[in-house]
Structure 1
């Protein structure tokens, strides 16, 4: 526990807050986006925003793979799960995400579909081994962090000739999404927000390294600081971004040096490259079609590609028009801007993906933001 306590020390936090306040220029604003939902939760859980000067604004990005999955892809999984002889496996946070017509995997299971929550790809493989009469499909979702375990599962399935196992692949790429956000004001007539700098993802960067973010610094002249998840990590990273902006620099800096290197995990990247290739386009909730932003399974592993095995087709699905998740995911709105937030939409009765996922911005606001409002009202 001492290790964690060292990164949550209130005395050091106050010192960092004083440094940030001293560095901030009164005549300018600092609009910083934390891409990762883990950072959003850390910011609210530990009251980081209460320690920042008013010129520093934290903007919440699309940093949750469950949140950015479009309704149409979830509908595909629900339709597949309802087919005779299919067992659909996925991580727990996908079960309650609303699809179209308020359907979800959890509701589909209640109606008789064989849907299982698993803790890892190895659990899904074991289900296939022990149930040879079932078609076991792993609903794979996540950023680069969870892609290597899916690659391992596909290689094991190939080696064992496990013919009743397949993967519905929904692994998406963070650098492509950041590029899309930065290009959005020029490319789309969509509500967007200007960004001065990024807190780079932590766990993603452990895998891919710091190098992929160098493009943003060079092409868009936006500084990136890869940040750890503890409150002092976040505050130090904010200080590093403020200093870069003040000095007119746009570089990639690595605050999370205890876990991230420039080149990342070469073994994991090689495994992913062997199993997956990058598709030409993939739809993200809130961002639309993003070029070269997702993996697809290589032809070598086509026998274990659920989309090919079951001839799955992506249809059209409408978002709940009253839900502001798409705007929240691109930083153009905050959860409290949504008329449904905290009323019809709560963690118990979620209407949008940002409220369902543990890393969603709406879930963070609901869990921690209300305490902050209560403290402010009490202070008044």
Structure 2
């Protein structure tokens, strides 16, 4: 493993040649000071931004939002935004988080929750050879993840040869991230409120080996795809999932993103500056750690499938943050990195829909299973919702 490349992959894996990716962060996805503390908003998605504007009585500029928030306790602002189905997090000190009901629930949970499902893995998975150079060749991964953590997981699986089919609804976009997260994948679109698209989704799920998703508890149920329905469609699938705040406790269904979980879980407090202003990790560390952990879970579940066992695994950004905060005294955070050289990039130029780019070499070297991608990054919903023949 190359430590320098690992760090740079945590920021971006590519250097665009002659073009500039869109800015992934909305202006209001920022930190604001309230009457009694600090709060972080997340407004990258249009519906989340609309929720914030409703909660703040229509304040829409950075200056107006700053003024409104400054007049209220941060817990009040947080509650108003969450009530509008938005995403925000007030800064909670690490000491307070440890005694918080959600913090206690995380402390009692394992980093990865494993469940052995009833039944037996498919004969195909039991007999699948994993030593042919592309160790995941022939493995079908149905990807219902967005933004960063889940897409990092499925990008990793694609690098080892898995066929990854990402499904997104109409209107969703991950601006500024897709050149990093869609490499090696097929990207299709389905509307799970449409009867025709639901049939297509169920056909894809029926033939999938691994189902990866980032839905909060209850969200798939509301779409009509609770655990019993999914098991009826494909009882032999491997299921690996992620949410923001954990799978137990009062916050398990709460919306969250890496930047917000850092605020809630003590990281912003631990990284705070001398003036008490919130700090942060030098990259989206929770997302990337979660992504690689999910990919490892998929591979471990495939190992179990060789002996017929069907495994499901789940983790959360907040549980990863808990482990990170506990281990902080044994960690050193480097704020500067060695400069990249031409040798750090793969020799091939990747031709994407936006323009050419150079992609960093894979940070992990496995002698019998090299990591590489066979298709370029591209926009969402550009492929048909079907498995390769």
Please state which structure has a larger fraction of its residues in helix: 1
Please report the TM-score for the alignment, with normalisation by the length of structure 2. 0.31
Please report the TM-score for the alignment, with normalisation by the length of structure 1. 0.31
